[in-house]
């Protein structure tokens, strides 16, 4: 089974569908999007794979992990996709915001790896952590977000050592793969002028990379794939 946290919408949804098409049964977690989660489960089941949606609030990692572990008995793929993206600079970022970011982006992936270590080792499984180019090139107005993604970047490297040789652990650091609806057209054009491949990515681009790392990437571990159309070069 493959677990995709925050799998009901956007990139998480694309990852869950791609893994199901690759032959995995799927578990996703959701926090507030129950209808989206159940629609996705129905779609996966209709395609011939088993699927389950688990309500879990990853801002409370110990409780969320217990809830997930009560539902899943075996696991061979873990995709830590759940994320909180919100602004907060040096003056505006609150202690509560820092705590929530750390809980979702760092503590939850760590505790899930600890909880399912035995199953992942036994299945010679794979962990993929969803990062962000902003972990390398932080925006000060997203201080807490960038710092917590940077911590997950580092955690990915440590877990790759810790879980070897049975388990691969890698990260994917996308550029833009799905524009926010309110993102101004002129800002989109400005961004794309700095992308060598000349386009934004898609959730399906990310999903294809996840499938590769969980199928053909058995000799790849401790790597961060910058999935950005070359944006990190400019």
CA 187-84-62 angle, to 5 degrees, is: 170
The owner of tokens 């699927």 is: 51
As given in the structure block, the two tokens for residue 165 are 């040789």
Report d(CA 196, CA 68) in Å as an integer.
41
* Nearest partner of 25 among 80, 72, 65, 82, judged by Cα: 72
Report d(CA 93, CA 116) in Å as an integer.
33
Whether 197 and 175 have beta carbons less than 8 Å apart is answered as no
H or E, element range at 4: strand 2-4
As given in the structure block, the two tokens for residue 174 are 């996308």
**Alpha helices (runs of H) in 163-202, residue ranges in sequence order:** 185-192
CA 2-7-9 angle, to 5 degrees, is: 150
Q: Determine which one of 24, 85, 145, 219 is catalytic.
A: 145
Helix (H, G, I), strand (E, B) or coil at 203: helix
- 145 is known as an active-site residue: yes
Strand-pair category, 224-227 with 2-4:
unpaired
Q: What is the set of active-site residues?
A: 145
């Amino acid at each position: 089974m493959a677990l995709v946290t925050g799998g009901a919408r956007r990139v998480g949804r694309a990852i869950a569908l791609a893994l199901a098409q690759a032959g995995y049964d799927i578990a996703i977690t959701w926090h507030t999007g129950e209808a989206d989660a159940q629609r996705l489960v129905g779609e996966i089941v209709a395609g011939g794979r088993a699927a389950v949606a688990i309500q879990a609030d990853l801002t409370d990692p110990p409780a969320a992990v217990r809830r997930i572990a009560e539902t899943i008995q075996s696991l061979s793929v873990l995709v830590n996709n759940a994320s909180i993206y919100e602004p907060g600079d040096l003056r505006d970022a609150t202690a509560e915001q820092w705590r929530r970011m750390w809980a979702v982006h760092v503590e939850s992936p760590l505790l899930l790896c600890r909880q399912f270590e035995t199953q992942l080792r036994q299945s010679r499984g794979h962990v993929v952590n969803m990062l962000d180019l902003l972990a390398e090139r932080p925006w000060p107005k997203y201080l807490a977000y960038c710092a917590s993604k940077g911590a997950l970047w580092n955690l990915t490297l440590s877990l790759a050592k810790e879980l070897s040789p049975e388990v691969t652990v890698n990260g994917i650091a996308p550029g833009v793969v799905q524009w926010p609806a309110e993102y101004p057209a002129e800002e989109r054009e400005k961004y794309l002028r700095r992308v060598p491949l000349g386009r934004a990515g898609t959730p399906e681009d990310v999903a294809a990379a996840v499938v590769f790392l969980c199928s053909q990437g058995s000799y790849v571990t401790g790597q961060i794939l910058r999935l950005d159309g070359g944006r990190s070069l400019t």
